[in-house]
Amino acid sequence: MVDPGKYGPWAVIAGGSEGVGAAFGRLLADAGINLVLLARKPGPLERTAAELAGRGVEVRTVSVDLTDAGAMEQIAAATADLEVGLLICNAGANTNHVPFLESAPGNVQRVIDLSITSPLALCRHFGPPMRERKRGGIILVGSLAGYMGQPEISIYSGAKAFSRVFAEGLWLELREHGVAVLELVLGVTRTPAMERLGLRFDLPGLIVAEPEDVAREGLEHIEHGPLHIAGGNEELAARRNGLNRAEIIASAHQQSRQLIGQG
């Protein structure tokens, strides 16, 4: 599915301990690509690493909070001797579910750092060697939340909108150097993080994707950037891109309330 000659011998997965990140890890391990997993919680991180090592590849782990000031220095030290051919920025679950004016400044900054600052730092670190080698790839895992503003997750929505537009520009900058860039846009996906939020996956008409499926789509479409909307959500993304913003946002907000059991 993915060429180790172009996207190996090592891949770095931020947010690699569970959900979509772990699914990427399984697919890449089966392709023979060694892995560096980045995640905050050491327990799940080490369990996933052991599973993936059992598939016959080398696995390194870095237990790191990507919002910490020294995170990039720690990651750079752990990967200094590796040739990284693929970077997957999957960390970025929303950590602030309150209206913006009621949000603690530290919580707002954490969302920005996790969804914007840390992916930029990772791209800045791992991108130049790929450009010099004229091969490699970067996948930024985005969200349909970035297609419109939403109450209580306004910072997260804005951060994901930034990620999508940034990926388009980075794709233009790197394609002439043989480096693929893809923004993989997810809709509702059955991950542990989403399950912990208590989302209602059984709503009629709701499209729910599985982590393995969206990760596979990402690897299958990495050569066809700058954007791929995963999980069969193309029509929904198109509706959210319309020009009648007031009507679109109000309608989608009501659907979101139902998803979290408020409507």
Q: In a 10 Å sphere around its CB, with 0-12 CB exposed, 13-18 middle and 19+ buried, how is residue 69 labelled?
A: exposed
Is 160 one of the catalytic residues?
Answer: yes
Which residue in 204, 128, 215 sits closest to 173, CA to CA?
A: 128
- Cα–Cα distance between 10 and 33 in angstroms, integer? 6
Which residue type, as a one-letter code, is found at position 99? P
**Distance of alpha carbon 249 from alpha carbon 124, whole angstroms:** 34
- Verify whether residue 134 is a known catalytic residue: no
**Residue 116 DSSP one-character state:** I
- In angstroms, the CA 123 to CA 142 distance is 15
Coil, strand or helix at 61: strand
Q: Residue ranges of the alpha helices (H) in 31-90?
A: 42-53, 71-78
Q: Which helix (H) or strand (E) holds 93?
A: none
Q: Which residues are catalytic?
A: 156, 160
